[in-house]
Amino acid sequence: MKLAIAQLNPTIGDLSGNVQQIIERSIETAGQGAELMLTPELSLCGYPPRDLLLNPSFIEAMTAALQEIAAKVPSHLMVLVGFAEPNPQAPEVGSKPLYNSMACIKAGQVRQVIRKRLLPTYDVFDEDRYFASGEQPGILDCCGLKLGVTICEDLWNDEQFWGHRSYTVNPIAELVERQVDLIVNLSASPFVIGKQRVREAMLTHSAQRHGCPIVYVNQLGGNDDLIFDGRSVAVDIQGSIAGRAQAFKTDLLCIKFDSEKKTLRSSISHPLEGDHAEIWAALVLGVQDYARKCGFTQAVLGLSGGIDSALVGAIATAALGPENVLGVLMPSPYSSDHSIKDAQDLAVNLGFKTEVIPIADLMGAYDQSLSCIFSDTEPGIAEENIQARIRGAILMAIANKFGRLLISTGNKSELAVGYCTLYGDMSGGLAAISDVPKTRVYSLCRWLNSEAGQQAFNAQSSEIIPKNILTKPPSAELKPNQVDQDSLPPYDQLDDILARIVDQHQSQTQIVAAGHAAAIVQRVMQLVHRAEFKRRQAPPGLKITDRAFGTGWRMPIAAKH
Amino acid sequence: MKLAIAQLNPTIGDLSGNVQQIIERSIETAGQGAELMLTPELSLCGYPPRDLLLNPSFIEAMTAALQEIAAKVPSHLMVLVGFAEPNPQAPEVGSKPLYNSMACIKAGQVRQVIRKRLLPTYDVFDEDRYFASGEQPGILDCCGLKLGVTICEDLWNDEQFWGHRSYTVNPIAELVERQVDLIVNLSASPFVIGKQRVREAMLTHSAQRHGCPIVYVNQLGGNDDLIFDGRSVAVDIQGSIAGRAQAFKTDLLCIKFDSEKKTLRSSISHPLEGDHAEIWAALVLGVQDYARKCGFTQAVLGLSGGIDSALVGAIATAALGPENVLGVLMPSPYSSDHSIKDAQDLAVNLGFKTEVIPIADLMGAYDQSLSCIFSDTEPGIAEENIQARIRGAILMAIANKFGRLLISTGNKSELAVGYCTLYGDMSGGLAAISDVPKTRVYSLCRWLNSEAGQQAFNAQSSEIIPKNILTKPPSAELKPNQVDQDSLPPYDQLDDILARIVDQHQSQTQIVAAGHAAAIVQRVMQLVHRAEFKRRQAPPGLKITDRAFGTGWRMPIAAKH
């Protein structure tokens, strides 16, 4: 049997656009002689649809859209399409009103529906909010073969692989007991650094353990904070990767399944890339899709001459093209001479235009306006924040005036400890690197200047990020001769402490035991807690770690701990 | 038997402070001769603790805190304390790592633990994210009586009352089958307009249906967006309210239970109030607790002379005292003469100080700074937003300089359609009325000027909100002679359409069928969708309706629908 993985990039809620994509891919698939086309989880509405699922008319429209697909895909092709299925028994039995399901379409009809069994409800996932669990193993007859159909999380409960269970049942084991020929898994699994290695190790383990080949289909594309990396794979019973679809690009991957030998074969298998290459590609796709799906073609960002805005400038350029990026330099009397030059050098390297709008006069005007109420006070944080807010207001004015997306440039380390100004440098529609710790910002920029980075960027020049930006000490330049390390521990220390607090849920005692000074750990913990009110108002930030601030970080503000 | 309801106001995560409250109340309870003291759901850590529950050290500290309570409460008193209980079987059986539990403490020991069975996962609730469901009916022996112990949601699945089931089991029915003498329910149920009537109707129904009296304990206090209104009640088998604790205040309510006659008696029963009185009390408590639990004593707000800031000024005054409120008037050349006078009149009525900081010079400075890049463009939204952002920056500067909480003044109608400026009038630590529709803002202000309102406010004057503020047409005053109705449908129409979209999940077809013009409905729906990026960055707003923007509103931004 020949089957095809349609690694689609749906827009959330855009049923007609998504239907169109599925139909086009199905025609292409049929043209290649395949008998089955697989699409990702909830491919009809895109993942995650979130509270759109609470609108009954949206659910009805999905059922109608399935009929349209059924009418228009080549009739001899079987297509699996993900959709939200009404659960009419809900009020009677007391379960949730929907299932996260997969419709099997063939010959103009929805022939069968298979329901997701394991519903993730952790981190960014809220599936118990909407869905009831399917109770039956999903078995499909396809060209005389017995296909085990699973949806995303259904695959993620192998107690041997994880060393523990996360759910009471293991749908894979139940399918294997029923002697399926092949397991397919239809996913929408968001990118996290190194996650593909985990996915493939898990797939390999399951395929080998059960002696059953697995075809894994992943969604592609950026949806707000989440970036879906694709990299759908076919894994045979030896545990080897028979085929791998592209990373961070839509794809249509054809695979031959020999049911006698239980082997999978594909003529194409894209290689895996290293951490920096995948982070880079993820962030570029995240910016690109956020802009496109929100209807923006152009972006603007503030250029401080520092490393964060340098990286974001490079990402925006790769995502939208240099002709669509505008960098705005807003020097103050505290800006160092080199920061203007560094920012200009960066813009030249990247090929985008800049504007210079000095803020001294505006600072003076605020001083003047506030002179009465601020008399008898010493300049401090309030005045530093004013500078950042002037810049935020200028950038937003440009964004509003010209319909550009403002991309904010703050990194994860500063968002964690609140070393950023709400309504100032935090302003923007999207935070491109707010899940990238400062030490990783540096290493990404160094990588970008390497041969691999230049290739990924498609750069001619031998330098993307100007050397001086990489080597000078980081500074917010909000007062004379300020450097970040006046207020914060060195970033390598800080980032290690933050990873322990944020990602690993460690206690003060544990972090001190790992070798950090107690006073520093305590201070960082306090800073993290106190910055919660800022993070609550941050723009969506592209997630690249296991624990990003944003939809998967749900902390109280008015709290004491 | 004599029992006491301790209607506590915990601070989220503040174990030592919450332990202290429980111990103090237990001593008071014992002094009144009661044998059992009931506290709200998760009374040890406060509800909702959210992702603090993911920190293992936090869970360990809770277990230790229980021991401290056990050691310090009067030994002959039985005390029920809510806590998060580790679920050691989780990795083996594949369930969540915690239970939402109630510890029964007596004579220096935790004698029994009872687990919550029904876990709400809708609106603002995320309990499936953290907790496994308890599987056994919670039965406790107390002074020879058989007590049925339930936790919050356990009570909310009476299929007769609701006309449908929300969960497969009904813990109340299971307890009644086991012939308990009395059911207690330990809750943390957030305020929504009119919810107490629903709660009491439900309690009455259940008590009558099962012939079993119910004692319902609710948490008190504001925790970020959620306001817990208390109003714990004792309901006897005739369905009458034998006692009701205070609304929006901590309380200790003693109740006598006659196990022979199955009657409940209390010497005190506070009356229910009308919608406006309860909304007012809720918002005042919400502001008060947010400020206190974040460590603020003083607040600042912008006073436009309009009705929204008038209402928020009154709420802030009632919450924090007039001496702790500062109103800032920031007139522009587009401000009408009356707006300054109206704002000053309001401040006089409320007794708080004002500052006047005109913004014309700052507007000029921005015009100047942006003149080059904005040349050849017409003034429009960008310039209007600059005005709002100047005001936001001035308010934040004052907040930063003097350690005041900035309370933002936008209402729900404008937040819904995006008739507000991100980083401008949306700035603040807390949005006091962002869940109050504009028409309700008016009716609340009229109520405040009534005898009942003046009493609630404890006002001497016969006018709290100046008449002119109530009667003039609403305007953002961001350009000459602007009124809201230039851009929006009349507010009574708009609010009805919004309630249908936001609260009732209605489709365009349904709303048109209800009598609204199709073009207007379509436009409002578009506005609501397009404002999603603003709402994502809004400060927490006090929830008073079934569906508030905020933690219970989870919509995609980069979407099409």
Distance CA(B296)–CA(B293), nearest Å, equals 8
Contact B43, B12 (CB under 8 A): no
Q: What is the dihedral of CA B529, A551, B406, B310, to 10 degrees?
A: 30
Q: DSSP characters for B257-300?
A: EETTTTEEE-S-BPPP--HHHHHHHHHHHHHHHHHHHHT---EE
Contact B125, B226 (CB under 8 A): no
User: pLDDT tens, A397-448?
Assistant: 999 999 999 999 999 999 999 999 999 999 999 999 999 999 999 999 999 9
Tokens of A200: 């493939």
Distance CA(A115)–CA(A125), nearest Å, equals 17
B126 touches chain A (CB under 8 A): yes
Inside any domain, residue A495:
no
User: pLDDT tens, B442-454?
Assistant: 999 999 999 999 9
> CB distance A392–B362 less than 8 Å?
no
pLDDT band at B480 (very low <50, low <70, confident <90, very high): confident
Give the 3-state secondary structure of residue A340.
Answer: helix
In the prediction, which pLDDT does B270 show? Answer: 96
Closest to A291 (Cα-Cα) out of A314, A325, A247: A325
Dihedrals φ, ψ of B442, to 5°?
A: -65, -50
Nearest residue in A to B389, CA atom? A393
Inside any domain, residue A178:
yes
Handedness of CA A539, A545, A548, A551 (dihedral sign): positive
In the prediction, which pLDDT does A548 show? Answer: 98
Domain that holds residue B72: 2-272
In this structure, are B282 and B264 located in the same domain? no
In the prediction, which pLDDT does B378 show? Answer: 95
In the prediction, which pLDDT does A5 show? Answer: 98
- Give the percent of chain A with pLDDT over 70: 100
In the prediction, which pLDDT does B476 show? Answer: 87
Cis omega before residue B171 (within 30°)?
no
In the prediction, which pLDDT does B62 show? Answer: 98
- For A50, A318, A331, A457, B493, the CA distances from A9, given in Å and listed in that order, are 17, 19, 40, 22, 38
B504 touches chain A (CB under 8 A): no
In this structure, are A419 and A466 located in the same domain? yes
In this structure, are A132 and A249 located in the same domain? yes
Q: How many domains does one find in chain A?
A: 2
In this structure, are B312 and B228 located in the same domain? no
For residue A365, give the nearest of B52, B362, B506 by CB distance: B362
Closest to B200 (Cα-Cα) out of B239, B167, B173: B239
Indicate the average pLDDT of chain A: 96
A487 touches chain B (CB under 8 A): no
User: What stretch of H or E contains B511?
Assistant: helix B508-513
SS3 content of chain A, % helix, strand, coil (to 5): 40, 20, 40
In this structure, are B245 and B327 located in the same domain? no
CATH number at residue B359: 3.40.50.620
User: pLDDT tens, B271-290?
Assistant: 999 999 999 999 999 999 99
Dihedrals φ, ψ of A280, to 5°?
A: -55, -50
Q: Give contacts of B89 with chain A, Cβ < 8 Å.
A: none
B507 touches chain A (CB under 8 A): yes
In this structure, are B355 and B458 located in the same domain? yes
Distance CA(B221)–CA(B282), nearest Å, equals 9
In the prediction, which pLDDT does A542 show? Answer: 98
Taking residues B314-338, report their average pLDDT.
96
In this structure, are B50 and B162 located in the same domain? yes
Q: Is B152 a catalytic residue?
A: yes
In the prediction, which pLDDT does A561 show? Answer: 83
Contacts 24+ apart (CB under 8 A), A464-467: A464/A314, A464/A349, A464/A350, A465/A307, A465/A310, A465/A311, A465/A314, A465/A346, A465/A349, A466/A310, A466/A342, A466/A345, A466/A346, A466/A349
User: pLDDT tens, B198-227?
Assistant: 999 999 999 999 999 999 999 999 999 999
pLDDT band at A486 (very low <50, low <70, confident <90, very high): confident
Please tell me the least confidently modeled range out of A162-176, A223-237, B148-162, B458-472: B458-472
| Residues of chain B numbered 150-209 and touching chain A (CB < 8 Å) | 157, 159, 163-169
In this structure, are B181 and B53 located in the same domain? yes
| Residues of chain A numbered 243-302 and touching chain B (CB < 8 Å) | 289-290, 293-294
Environment class of B426 (CB within 10 Å of its CB; exposed 0-12, middle 13-18, buried 19+): buried
Inside any domain, residue B491:
no
Inside any domain, residue B105:
yes
Strand partners of residue B187: B218
Tokens of B57: 């050290």
Last residue of a domain, one of A210, A241, A272: A272
Distance CA(A11)–CA(A307), nearest Å, equals 32
Last residue of a domain, one of A232, A247, A272: A272
In the prediction, which pLDDT does B561 show? Answer: 83
In this structure, are A24 and A160 located in the same domain? yes
Distance CA(A336)–CA(B105), nearest Å, equals 64
Indicate the average pLDDT of chain B: 96
Inside any domain, residue A402:
yes
Q: What is the dihedral of CA A392, A396, A397, A399, to 10 degrees?
A: 140
The yes-or-no verdict on residue A461 having pLDDT over 90 is: no
Report the largest interatomic distance among the alpha carbons of chain B, rounded to a whole angstrom.
86
CATH number at residue A8: 3.60.110.10
Q: Give contacts of B394 with chain A, Cβ < 8 Å.
A: 366, 369-370
SS3 content of chain B, % helix, strand, coil (to 5): 40, 20, 40
Q: Give contacts of A129 with chain B, Cβ < 8 Å.
A: 121-122, 126, 128, 554
- Was B341 annotated as part of a binding site? no
B378 touches chain A (CB under 8 A): no
In the prediction, which pLDDT does A361 show? Answer: 98
User: pLDDT tens, B4-31?
Assistant: 999 999 999 999 999 999 999 999 999 9
Q: Which residue has the tokens 């950042």?
A: A388
In the prediction, which pLDDT does B63 show? Answer: 96
User: What stretch of H or E contains A106?
Assistant: strand A98-106
Distance CA(A518)–CA(A532), nearest Å, equals 22
User: pLDDT tens, A79-118?
Assistant: 999 999 999 999 999 999 999 999 999 999 999 999 999 9
In this structure, are A394 and A361 located in the same domain? yes
Rounded to a whole number, what is the distance in Å from the CA of B327 to chain A's nearest CA? 13
Contact B235, B213 (CB under 8 A): yes
> CB distance B355–A373 less than 8 Å?
yes
First to last CA, chain A: 58
Q: Which residue has the tokens 């523990």?
A: A164
Contact A314, A465 (CB under 8 A): yes
Rounded to a whole number, what is the distance in Å from the CA of B36 to chain A's nearest CA? 29
Inside any domain, residue A555:
no
Instruction: Give chain A's radius of gyration (CA, Å).
Output: 25
User: pLDDT tens, A232-279?
Assistant: 999 999 989 999 999 999 999 999 999 899 999 998 899 999 999 999
The yes-or-no verdict on residue A460 having pLDDT over 80 is: no
User: pLDDT tens, A364-411?
Assistant: 999 999 999 999 999 999 999 999 999 999 999 999 999 999 999 999
In this structure, are B145 and B53 located in the same domain? yes
> CB distance B505–A54 less than 8 Å?
yes
Last residue of a domain, one of B484, B502, B527: B484
Closest to B463 (Cα-Cα) out of B353, B342, B329, B355: B342
> CB distance A558–B507 less than 8 Å?
no
Q: Which residue has the tokens 């904010």?
A: A408
ipTM of the complex: 0.97
Active site residues of A: 41, 116, 152
User: pLDDT tens, A326-351?
Assistant: 999 999 999 988 999 999 999 999 99
Inside any domain, residue A125:
yes
In the prediction, which pLDDT does B170 show? Answer: 97
Inside any domain, residue A496:
no
pLDDT band at B479 (very low <50, low <70, confident <90, very high): confident
The DSSP symbol for A324 reads G
Distance CA(B216)–CA(A1), nearest Å, equals 62
Distance CA(B231)–CA(B198), nearest Å, equals 12
In this structure, are A260 and A303 located in the same domain? no
Chain centroid to Cα A539, Å, comes to: 14
